[in-house]
Amino acid sequence: MRHRMRGRKLGRNASHRKAMFRNMAVSLIRSVRVDEDDPQRQKVPGRIVTTLPKAKELRPIVEKLITLARKALPHEENAREFATDANRNSDEWRTWRSSEQWNKWNQAIAPAVTARRRAFAMLRDRDAVDVLFDELANRYQDRPGGYTRVLKLATVRLGDAGKQALIEFVIDGDRVRAQRQAPVVTDTPDEEETPAATDEADAPEAETDEQAAPEAEATGEAAGEEATDEEEAK
């Protein structure tokens, strides 16, 4: 039983495994910054392809580094209030260096410098540390975790048929499915000609009834006169 033995060995000893994850983390972080002159650049920024067990073990390492960089952002923001834009070793810079402003800046920036040193001790690559603190920290400033994802690939690795997967940085809205919009049904307005035609059709019938009433009365009066004449003749 492997009690208190967390993590995968991956067929390597401790030092080899640590060096492998360091190189993989540097490759993943540096792939964010696209360099056209780099022959080893990735086709898709912020993504590398590896085996599934390695990707699962690499994910918490990279996410802890991004969390470390995020925690340094407030300290860097507070230190900008006491910083100077003068060039290093210039007269203005030396004046600022010996003033009280430098002491305040030094105290404000100290936690951020410590975070960079911790990240460099783990990565041992200055370019990767710059990308981590300058780009990734700002990208995930308002995201409390879940910076990467692991996606399984259908193809296996040639040679040993190892299960492959890709690990990439999450971008808001990059995998949101487009929702199908239901067709908009507009109510067709009632045609005005139909009621008019009906009224016109009914109009002659009404006139005919009105005209038929006097004729019936006249016919009834004539019949009454004829009946009176016959009675007088008798």
Residue 130 confidence (pLDDT) above 80? yes
Biggest alpha carbon–alpha carbon distance for the chain: 151
Q: Which residue has the tokens 């808001």?
A: 172
Say what the pLDDT of residue 175 is: 74
User: Cα separations (Å) of 177 from 148, 156, 167?
Assistant: 19, 27, 20
Q: Which domains does the chain have, with CATH numbers?
A: 14-169 (3.90.1030.10)
Percent of all residues in the chain with a pLDDT value above 70, rounded to a whole number: 72
223: its two tokens: 């019949």
State residue 14's pLDDT score. Answer: 94
Per-residue pLDDT tens over the stretch 44-94 = 889 999 999 999 999 999 999 999 999 999 999 999 999 999 999 999 999
Give this prediction's pTM: 0.72
Do residues 141 and 147 touch, judged by C-beta distance below 8 A? no
Buried b / exposed e across 130-167, counting CB within 10 Å, b at 16+? Answer: ebbbeebbebbeeeeeebbbeeeeeeeeeeeeeebbbb
Question: Which burial class, exposed, middle or buried, applies to 36 when counting CB atoms under 10 A from its CB (0-12, 13-18, 19+)?
Answer: exposed
| pLDDT one-digit tens code per residue, 73-87 | 999 999 999 999 999
pLDDT value of position 208: 52
Residue, of 171 and 198, whose pLDDT is higher: 171
Instruction: Report pLDDT for 195.
Output: 54
Q: Are 17 and 7 in contact (CB under 8 A)?
A: no
Amino acid in the structure at residue 130: D
pLDDT at 232 > cutoff 60:
no
